[in-house]
Every structure is written in structure tokens, then in C-alpha cells.
Structure 1
Amino acid sequence: MEEKSISPWKSSLTYGLYLGIAIILISVIFYVTGNPFAKSAQWISYGVMIAGVIIAQFSYRKLLGEVMTYSQALAIGVLTMLFASVITGFFTYLLYAIIDPSLQEQLRLSIEEQLVKQGRVPEEQIDMAVEMAAKFQKPAIMFVMSILSGTFVGLIISLITSIFTQKKPKEDFSA
């Protein structure tokens, strides 16, 4: 049986676009409701990412004729998350640099509040920790970090989901 050679780029770009838009919608909903830094937004986004990767993998497997190797499933998952991360990173840049620059200060205050609540960081080190975190909260750095972290999360998700979405060809023993 011949293995079909279909590029994962177009499929992953399409599903990455859908996934990126879905994650942006979640961010917008939490932003509009006044909870832009809610933990529940992160957990919902992770669930959407997992679902998006799985849907992209099954769709690609269908294009391949219901036969897909582990490496093909891994590639489609990581590429989908890469494209989704570029889209969400661009949105994050626009949100923090143009739409609402005050979010940078709100994020700084949120981090400080979390550190105080946790109580693990001594009082005199909280300012230093918040100052260090603030260096990574510039819109351009957030854009790059969004792409890197999103792609890394996509790798982790895909390493796991590829186990279940791969489908090896049936061996033909007739000779």
C-alpha cells in the first residue's frame, strides 16, 4: 500500500487559524468581563488547545486516507499550535501595546497580589520578583514568548495525543 504524501502545512495553517481565533475569543470574553488574568481562562484555553490539536490530527489523518504515523501526527499538532501561537501572540501584542496599555500595570499588580497571597516569597523580595516579571511584560517580548510557549505546549500536547490519533496501516499478509 502506498503512503500518501500530503503536506501538513496547509492543514495545520487552517486549524491553527481556527484554534488561534478560539483562544482569542476566550481572552476577549474574560477581558470584557473584567477578568483578564483569571486562572479559569488559562484552563479553558488549555482544553481548547487540546481539542484543537486532536481535531487537526484527525482531520489530517482523514486526508491521508485514515493512515497516519506517530511522527505525522506529532508534526501536524506542533505546526497547528505554532500557527495558533503566532495569531494569539499578535493579538496579545495588539492588546497590550495598542488596545489597552494599562493591562501591563494591571498584570504587574496581579502578580504582586499572587505573590503576597502565596506567602512563599519574603516581603523584601516581592518587589524584586515583580520587577523581574515586569521586564518580560513588554508587548514585543510577550509576542515572542507567546509563540515559544505556545509551540512548546503544542509539543507536549502532541506528544501525548499522537499516541491516540496515529493509525498504522494494516499489514497485508497475502502474497
Structure 2
Amino acid sequence: METTTTRVALKWGLINGIIAIVIATLIYVFDLWKYGWSGFIGIVPLAILMYLAHNEFKAGNEGFMNYGQGLGIGVLIGAISGIISSIYGLVYTQFIDSNIMESIKDFQVEKMEEQGLSDQQIEGALDVMSKFQSPGFTFLAGIFMSILGAFVIALIISAITQKKKPVFM
């Protein structure tokens, strides 16, 4: 039976979504959001899961997967896990720890003060940031960034895992 890109992507997207929730929880609980590198923690599991998804797809399709199929699987994994993790992020910031956004804002103000910005510059920056911290914007931005990140990773992983079906077989 032939394996479809959608079925494979759904399975691995759900798995990555669960992993993303665990990672996000650890980032929130241990205040790792203060470090710029914390935003990149999810890249390694995503790349590994994408590789496994490609292998599963090939196993169900006589060992073959073209580049486009691999790219499609990767982007769908990113979309599915992005929706899951964005929903979790919304629930976390709105209901579980509604003070997290205020803590992030205070941290940003502290960093701006350390850089020597004036009160007027800080207020201007906070005004701009507040427009990008609405629940709706962060939800959509989370999905978009997840898809974009998965697309970039899929470009690489698909090039490695592709195996074209011979024309005359």
C-alpha cells in the first residue's frame, strides 16, 4: 500500500508538536526565553523527525521519494506542529502564566536601559513591541515562523533523503 505525504506529515507533525510543547514549557519554566539561543532549540528535533518521516514515506513507496515530496512533507510537518505549538503558546500566556508577557517586557526594558537608551526611546520601542505581542499576532506569527523554519530545514533534508524512481523500472 502506498504511503501518502499527508498521512506521514500528519503523524510526524503531531509528534513534533508534542515535542515543541515540552520544549516551550521548559523554556517558560526555567526562564530560558532570556537567552537568544533558546529560540533555536527546536531545530534539532525537527530535523531528526523530518528525516524519520522521509524514511517512513520511502519505506511505503518502494524506497522512493522525489525532492518535491520531501519538501511537501517537511512543510506540512512545520504547519501542523506550528499550529499545535501556537495554540499551546496562546493557552500558556493567557491562562497558565498570564504574567509571562509582563516579565518579558520588563526584561526587554532592562536590556534597553543597559544599552543606554533614553526613556523616550524605550517608550517608543515598547509601543512598537506591544503591537506585535497581541495574542492573534503571536499565534499567526508562530505558525508562519514554524512553516518558514520547516521549509528551510526541508530544503536541506529533502536533498539528502530524496531517491528518484528510475524512468525505466
Unaligned segments of structure 1, at least 5 residues: none
Using the aligned pairs only, state the percent identity. Answer: 24
1:30 and 1:38 in contact (8 A); partners too: no
Greater displacement, 41-50 / 66-75: 41-50
> Relative to 1, partners in 2 of residues 1:114 and 1:58: Cα closer, same or farther, differing over 3 Å?
farther
Pair 1:147–1:45, CA change in 2 (3 A): same
Structure 2 CA distance for partners of 1:115 and 1:51, relative to 1, 3 Å: farther
Alpha-carbon distance between aligned partners in 1 of 2:33 and 2:162, rounded to the nearest angstrom: 36
Amino acid at match of 1:22: I
Match of 1:38 in 2: 35
Point out the more displaced range, 78-87 or 38-47: 38-47
Distance 1:52 1:59 in 2: 10
Equivalent residue for 1:154, pick from 127, 131, 150: 150
Asked whether 1:11 is paired with 2:8, we answer yes
Indicate the residue corresponding to 2:70 in structure 1: 73
Give the corresponding residue for 1:25: 22
TM-score by length of 1: 0.84
TM-score (norm. length: structure 2): 0.87
Instruction: Give the letter for the 1:125 counterpart.
Output: Q
Uncovered stretches (5+) of structure 2, i.e. residues with no partner: none
Aligned residue for 1:50? 47
CA contact (8 A) 2:10 2:76 kept: yes
CA separation in 2, counterparts of 1:106 and 1:66? 50
Over the aligned positions, Cα root-mean-square deviation in angstroms equals 2.2
Asked if the contact 1:16/1:80 (under 8 Å) is kept, the reply is yes
The answer for the alignment partner of 2:159 in structure 1 is 163
Mapped contact 1:27–1:41 kept (Cα < 8 A): no
From 59, 63, 66, the counterpart of 2:60: 63
Residue in structure 2 matched with residue 138 of structure 1 by the alignment: 134
